[in-house]
Structure 1
Amino acid sequence: MMFADLKQQVIDHSKEIGIDKIGFASVDVFSTLKERLKTQQALNYQSGFEKGTNEERTTPTKLMPEAQSIISIALAYPTKIKDAPRNTKEERRGQFCRASWGTDYHHILRDRLEKLGEFLQDQHPDVKYKIMVDTGELADKEVAARAGLGYTGKNTVLITPEYGSYVYLGEMITNIPFAPDQPVEEDCGDCTLCLDVCPTGALVQGGQLNAQKCIAFLTQTKDFLPDEFREKIGNRLYGCDTCQAVCPKNKGKNFHFHTEMEPDPDVVKPKLKPILKISNREFKEKFGFIAGSWRGKKPIQRNAIIALANYKDQTAVQDLIELMKKDPRPVIRGTSAWALGKIGADEGRNAILAAREHESDESVLAEMEKGLSFFDEPVHS
């Protein structure tokens, strides 16, 4: 009975500290997830960003031996920008996905969970807990689904009845035996919109994602982007919202509950050309506080180059030539050469031919050949 009262106190306090939804789950093994992980690994569908072994990812007591329950929280984030900047031919812009708007959500959720932990300590001095936000071993959406916050959609994200899938998730493993909540009895029904529109076919079937083909993952890689995905990323600099944007459960969902989540329009839809020349210090000053900066400057610059190529932006040719000739990073030099070919200006073709004479990196030379192949009469040495 004491823990039932404490549970209600935790729920009440969660509302006071800015948690939009809270639920409680058992620490039983996530056996269905364990089997799915084995399948994902066998098919090479994982991103490589995952943390921990299959046992650690599915057995809460492996992470905290005295674990008795898990508290799962959700915070809703905005989906629309007030006064969004226009994307013009003179100043083309890229975009960061909605989950990267505002202050890095890891900090926001950790703050809420730490406040919840402090409250628990005041109420129950013997409490022990372990906080995880996205980068922990447990799968946030699996915990949230078990805790009754929502259900996992065919697009593999958690969908809540109130906020759709536009929520950040985090959890706290604790040694207090809170009674578990009931899972949500809902599903996607016959709807397959997310599967139908996924740009790369990364949603293999309802509930199964090939992360190696997912644009959200691809925009975070640091090497050359595989050829077949370059046009598909469009003007995305980080992440992808397509499978959520088309979801009927997200229709009309746009919540502005947390000031720190409000997007700076010029940060989340930035001009592309300035990104090509941005210094490390400038990058940290402009983008360092958002989640989309966690992999550093290089992937964002590479994606900006590809976006300019997809726009066929003639005004970017000089900047791209400069990168192709002088940037110390092969990925940036090579992607710039490819982009010059994609844009198709004679000036770019001549610059590739000239730079090729001085280039020694095989990967860059290969990209130069790809760039030259876009022209009507490819030149072969």
Structure 2
Amino acid sequence: MADAQLKEEIIAYSKKIGIDKIGFASANPFLSLKDRLLKQQELGYQSGFEEPDINKRTHPDMVLPEAKTIIAIALAYPSKMKNPPKSKKGDRRGVFCRASWGEDYHRVLKNRLEKLQEFIQEKAPAARMKSMVDTGELSDRAVAERAGIGWSGKNCAIITPEFGSYVYLGEMITTLSLPPDQPVTDQCGSCNKCVEACPTGALVQGGQLDSNKCIAYLTQTKDFLPDQYRKKLGNRLYGCDTCQQVCPENKGIDYHHQEEFEPDPEIVKPKLIPLLQISNKEFKRKFGPIAGSWRGKKPIQRNAIIALGHFKEEKAVDDLGKLLIDDPRPVIRGTAAWALGEINNRESRDYLNQALKQEIDSNVKKEVDNALK
């Protein structure tokens, strides 16, 4: 079958199985990306969640020998929730970012890529393929950019002309030689809104991110959150949408045609106080199907505690006090101490004074001391 004809058949089939956008790129090495990644490494801007081998990230033929083409796909997700529950005094709520709404996108995109792979294998039995979503060796963004899915915005997201940056990305490396698409021209221009709006200054400049300062990364860490970022966290439990929300290219963009990504408001905007005592079993049952649960309940609980401190939620004092006195995890005890210090009423100080007499962990003691001051 002629390469151009096969490409057209792949595009037609991708629409049938609900892929919103598809693009084709050569599997040549990503040399300019390699330079950028080496610079990021040198500056200490990497999060540690990436594939550590920069050669594998930039040389597709190291992932699939004789790679010729990379097929990039994008699925749009919603930016607005229907009937969002209100967060009010005495009944505060946290929030998961939009990229964690609905079913875990890794599973959804892998399913679409598997269907696409089966279709291609029928048409070209000798072809070899390897698919990946987010956690693979390649940079989803670099592939999508080369394949014409969109341009790489100053907010370090792929911005598509049709769906803005509210898209999930995945790709398939193949030994098939298919005609490549043209990259989309960068359209950010002089706009710098995302860089200016970043709560922690993690966007060092347009297109360069210090991952260690990024709230999306910080919400996924398991240790004590550095003090200077706690108040910046607000009520975020997982991820951050600020740089997408301020982007003019996302104005009025809200797609709801992928059923799997429809959010359950009680899951993605949950009440905070019940999260403090949630069991592992209940956490897995309620939050297991969404992307934001992948690091387990500890970071989510820590972030919920910070959110209650942010709101100065007096109704949470007894629950926070129980964590401070009884929880076996130092990070949870210490963060509860910080939140009680933010609330700063008589009951919260009583709990802090009680902890001062019994606490043996030096980090927690420090948090209790600071909270009482």
- Interval containing the TM-score (normalised by the shorter chain): over 0.9
What SS does the aligned partner of 2:358 have?
coil
**1:1-381 alignment to 2 at 5 Å?**
2-373=2-373
What SS does the aligned partner of 2:367 have?
helix
> Partners of 1:285 and 1:318 in 2: how far apart?
26
> Partners of 2:203 and 2:87 in 1: how far apart?
29
> Partners of 1:239 and 1:86 in 2: how far apart?
20
CA positional deviation for 1:291: 0.2
What SS does the aligned partner of 2:204 have?
strand
Q: Deviations over 1:331-366 (max 9, x none)?
A: 000100111011111111121111121111111111
> Partners of 1:330 and 1:309 in 2: how far apart?
17
> Partners of 1:299 and 1:20 in 2: how far apart?
33
Give the partner amino acid of 1:171.
E
Give the partner amino acid of 1:34.
K
> Partners of 1:130 and 1:370 in 2: how far apart?
52
What SS does the aligned partner of 2:338 have?
helix
Q: Deviations over 1:300-322 (max 9, x none)?
A: 00000000000000000000000
Give the partner amino acid of 1:312.
K
Q: Percent identity?
A: 61
> Partners of 1:184 and 1:347 in 2: how far apart?
58
> Partners of 2:42 and 2:309 in 1: how far apart?
35
> Partners of 2:39 and 2:242 in 1: how far apart?
25
> Partners of 2:345 and 2:297 in 1: how far apart?
27
CA positional deviation for 1:187: 2.2
Contact kept? 2:73, 2:169, Cα under 8 Å: yes
> Partners of 1:9 and 1:41 in 2: how far apart?
41
Give the partner amino acid of 2:300.
I
Q: Deviations over 1:49-108 (max 9, x none)?
A: 011411000000010112110000000000111111011112100000000000000000
CA positional deviation for 1:264: 0.1
CA positional deviation for 1:20: 0.1
Q: Say what the alpha-carbon RMSD is for the aligned residues.
A: 0.7
> Partners of 2:236 and 2:146 in 1: how far apart?
33
> Partners of 2:247 and 2:352 in 1: how far apart?
43
Q: Deviations over 1:84-143 (max 9, x none)?
A: 101111210000000000000000000000000000011111111001100001010100
> Partners of 2:315 and 2:180 in 1: how far apart?
58
What SS does the aligned partner of 2:243 have?
helix
> Partners of 2:292 and 2:370 in 1: how far apart?
29
Contact kept? 2:23, 2:71, Cα under 8 Å: yes
Give the partner amino acid of 1:173.
I
> Partners of 2:272 and 2:51 in 1: how far apart?
33
TM-score, length-normalised on structure 2?
0.99
Aligned length: 373
> Partners of 2:43 and 2:239 in 1: how far apart?
23
> Partners of 1:126 and 1:228 in 2: how far apart?
55
CA positional deviation for 1:186: 2.9
> Partners of 1:186 and 1:233 in 2: how far apart?
31
Give the partner amino acid of 1:290.
I
Unpaired stretches in structure 1, ≥5 consecutive residues: 374-381
> Partners of 2:78 and 2:106 in 1: how far apart?
16
Q: Deviations over 1:139-185 (max 9, x none)?
A: 10100000000000001110000000000000000010011100002
TM-score, length-normalised on structure 1?
0.97
Contact kept? 2:238, 2:292, Cα under 8 Å: yes
What SS does the aligned partner of 1:74 have?
strand
Give the partner amino acid of 1:89.
K
Q: Deviations over 1:16-66 (max 9, x none)?
A: 000000000001111111011111111100001011411000000010112
Contact kept? 2:28, 2:68, Cα under 8 Å: no
Q: After the TM superposition, which parts of structure 1 deviate over 2 Å for at least 4 consecutive aligned residues?
A: none
> Partners of 2:52 and 2:17 in 1: how far apart?
31
Q: What is aligned with 1:379?
A: none
